[in-house]
Amino acid sequence: MIEAKNNQVIGEKYRFTILTDRMIRMEYNEQGDFLDAPTQVVVNRNFGEADFKVNETDSDLEIITEAVHLYYKKGEKFTEHTLFADVKYSFSVFSNRWYYGHVGENLLGTLRTLDGVDGDAKLDNGILGKSGYATLDDSNSFLLSDDGEPLPRSSQGTDIYLFAYGRSYLDALKDFFKLTGETPLLPRYALGNWWSRYWKYDEEGYLALMDKFHAKKVPLSVSVIDMDWHLTEVPSRFGSGWTGYTWNKTLFPDPERFLKALHDRGLAVTLNVHPADGIRAFEECYPRVAERLGLDVTAEEPAIFDFTDTSFREVYFEEVHRPLEKEGTDFWWIDWQQGTTSSKAGLDPLWQLNHFHFEDIRKKDPLGIILSRYAGPGSHRYPIGFSGDAIISWKSLDFQPYMTATASNVGYAWWSHDIGGHMLGYKDEELSLRWLQFGVFSPINRLHSSSSAFTSKEPWEYNFVVENIMEDFLRLRHAFLPYLYSKNVSLHEQGIPLIKPMYYDYPEDEAAYHVPNEYLFGDQLLVLPITKPSNKTLELSKANLWLPEGDWYDFFSSDHYVGGTQLAIYRPIEKMPVFAKSGAIIPLDADPVATKTTELPETIEWRIYPGESNQFKLVEDKDGQRVETSLSIDEERGQLELITEGATEILPAKRNHVLKFMSSTAVKVTNSDDNDSKIAEITYDSEHKVTEVTLVPSAFSFNADLVDFQAVKVTDGLGTYQEILKRANIENQLKDYLWDRISHTDDRDKLFNVFNRLDDRELASALFEVLYTQK
């Protein structure tokens, strides 16, 4: 790879490369040793010709672009006094100048692991800054040879990138992906429900567990087999049994049969590995490994784990992992916990594991993945991220939505958390439920627990009410697969993450920077997970919500909310705050229990909300072929168009579409494209304000005129008021008093005064929310 020379300004000890008018690479090296090879972080610097101009004197250099005016004292080592830049954004009076070494109002990125963390933790910096600038330091990363081998730099210097994108956060992220590599496309199964537990299962018990999930109509897509799949009780001369590659035949007498049984149930399988102790003499694969590496078998000489050794690495994949993959292992959970030191100084062994494991699995499967911890910027190229052993506490849950959304600021979009928590902590069924609900609206939903007999996450291990709610949410996750997979494609091809902090879409609204746990879930939904215990008097959970300008609709109740406000909202345990924006279009699997993640849904349910013109492109892939189904609404003209293009032969033979017009008056839908009507049935649910239109099977195109697709903006709050009062553990006399006032007046001001006089401010606040929906 060669950089465009006309984009460079070069001196004896410095080089500036203007990649775009908003991104500049800045290098300083005492030997003038400037490097153009890709690195662990940066894989491409060819952005085409940039528009800039240079002013210079004998001592000073200025580089000027549309967005940046950079100043440098020529030839001097980079410091805050010799290198700085004015970014051409006026977000504040004092913070539009960047000085070398200064962070500014960085919006942060992510961290290596949550191991040992109970609550919040310090995040590394990201490539976005509220002041309009941020930097990426690539000075210490290794170079990558043509065959992907990490090589140390020939001399130490400074190699940093200035991102001066203002508050065009998505533009910055897209150029970051161009610089550091795209996020690979995930297989569809990765987006479903994962079952993961550190537990000594056997074949019979594990398959019975999978069948019980099926009998309970709870869909699963990934089976995670933790470390007890392999021998763990080994002769003491070998040390710990933590590392292992030999099936425990007492528990799994026929591994190939076991893995096939899981595949037959529609599950992908990952095995947990702790590779630190290398390959030892008790392993089944040891004779092959020893022969290839020339080990002393009689002395039981181990194959020391060293990924900087290409011979060991080749044997590790070819003789240790490949046979296990041929038996049916789909991907690997790389559970590295041994720090950052390797035999090559400065080279992180975790990064090596991620890099080479991912490259190896993709040789076998173009959609192969790994599960492993984060190893710094550029790690988005090796999904999926394992965030570590979460401690079971409300504090841990409260940190995870913020951590997950903020990770997008360094392109790390596919975090997989221990949903429900891994270890320690305490029993709290409400906590487990709220954590699972967050998992459903997080990138990867992997239920997990430790080897304790008391922390397992099967829904039926909880009380009957919680069990039913959990099972409903797990079904909802699989219903969302059409939406999630389309957003997976958007990230891979357009650089748009599934989860975005609120300031991505609302960068000029100060409120967007002060709702850390609130995020956009794709481009149609806003999510605010419940991360604190409920009010035991009200039996409701509170969250502080910011709604941007516009009309919003509660995903679970369809109640209408007016945006441009901040308010406290309250939800019972069976609901969480999820809002569809005005005009939202959301494709769902109408029967998620019946659809394995190796299959495509037979019926797509489209939830369509009133108020704005919009389009959603549903993307479906199978066997390397693609189908795209676009549904668009022209609000002004009152028209709908659905069109399916591509390899329609991969779709189910009776692919059907159900259109649900939400939160609206009864919609009149008439077929407008030909005389052969493609409408099978139309119904209107007056209670929930939903018009349902079922199309005939295999209708690959549909044009319709819409009449009376008008939002129902004033919600009938009587039922909600009554539900709040029924739940509340307060005096019956007070309930009767409030209900009398609520049910006999339509005057909002009078009700406001009634609620405002209540001594219980939380009760008042919950009633105010209902009043707000009556606007």
Residues 773/715, Cβ–Cβ less than 8 Å: yes
Mean pLDDT on 513-529: 98
Instruction: Give the number of C-alpha atoms closer than 13 A to the C-alpha of residue 300, restricted to the C-beta side.
Output: 8
The predicted pLDDT at position 676 comes to 65
Answer for the pair 738, 538: CB distance below 8 angstroms, yes or no: no
pLDDT for the residue numbered 38: 97
Q: Where are the domains of the chain?
A: 5-180, 189-250+264-450+478-494, 534-581+714-772, 585-707
Would strands 415-416 and 385-386 be described as parallel, antiparallel, or unpaired? parallel
Please give the backbone phi and psi of residue 164, each rounded to the nearest 5 degrees, phi first: -120, 65
Same fold flag, 534-581+714-772 and 585-707: yes
- Helix or strand (DSSP H, E) at 496: none
Where does the pLDDT of residue 3 fall: very low under 50, low under 70, confident under 90, or very high at 90 and above? Answer: very low
What whole-number percentage of the chain has pLDDT above 70? 98
Mean pLDDT of the chain: 95
pLDDT for 673 beyond 80: no
Question: pLDDT for 371-413, tens place per residue?
Answer: 999 999 999 999 999 999 999 999 999 999 999 999 999 999 9
> What tens digit of pLDDT does each residue of 626-657 get?
999 999 999 999 999 999 999 999 999 999 99
- Mean pLDDT lowest among 62-71, 146-155, 222-231, 310-319: 146-155
Q: What's the pTM?
A: 0.96
Confidence band, pLDDT 50/70/90 cuts, at residue 4: very low
Q: What is the pLDDT of residues 84-132, one digit of tens each?
A: 999 987 666 556 899 999 999 999 999 999 998 999 999 999 999 999 9
**298-343 confidence digits (pLDDT tens):** 999 999 999 999 999 999 999 999 999 999 999 999 999 898 999 9
Superfamily of 534-581+714-772 according to CATH: Golgi alpha-mannosidase II (2.60.40.1180)
For residue 674, the model assigns a pLDDT of: 63
Distance between CA atoms of residues 740 and 269, nearest Å: 58
Q: What is the pLDDT of residue 675?
A: 58
pLDDT tens-place string over residues 58-79: 999 999 999 999 999 999 999 9
The pLDDT, as a whole number, for residue 54 is 96
732-739 contact pairs (CB < 8 A, 24+)? 738/767
The CATH architecture of the domain made up of 189-250+264-450+478-494 is: Alpha-Beta Barrel (3.20)
Q: Is the pLDDT of residue 698 over 90?
A: no
pLDDT in the model for residue 716: 74
Q: Would you state the pLDDT for residue 1?
A: 36
Is 207 a residue whose pLDDT tops 50? yes
Q: What mean pLDDT is predicted for residues 275-295?
A: 98
pLDDT at 242 > cutoff 60: yes
- DSSP labels, 20-39: ETTEEEEEE-TT-----S-B
Instruction: Flag whether pLDDT at 2 surpasses 50.
Output: no
Q: How much is the average pLDDT of 408-420?
A: 98
Residue 52's pLDDT is 95
Say how far apart CA 89 and CA 110 lie, in whole Å.
26
Contact 5, 36 (CB under 8 A): no
Residues 574 and 556: their CA atoms lie apart, in Å, by: 10
Counting other chains too, the contacts that 711-715 makes at CB distance below 8 Å and 24 or more residues apart are: 711/551, 711/560, 711/582, 711/609, 711/610, 711/611, 711/663, 711/664, 712/560, 712/663, 712/664, 712/665, 713/551, 713/560, 713/562, 713/775, 714/560, 714/774, 714/775, 715/559, 715/560, 715/773, 715/774
The Cα–Cα gap between 157 and 102 comes to 18
Homologous superfamily (CATH) of 585-707 is Golgi alpha-mannosidase II (2.60.40.1180)
**Residue 417 to residues 458, 657, 674, 692: CA-CA distances in angstroms?**
17, 34, 50, 36
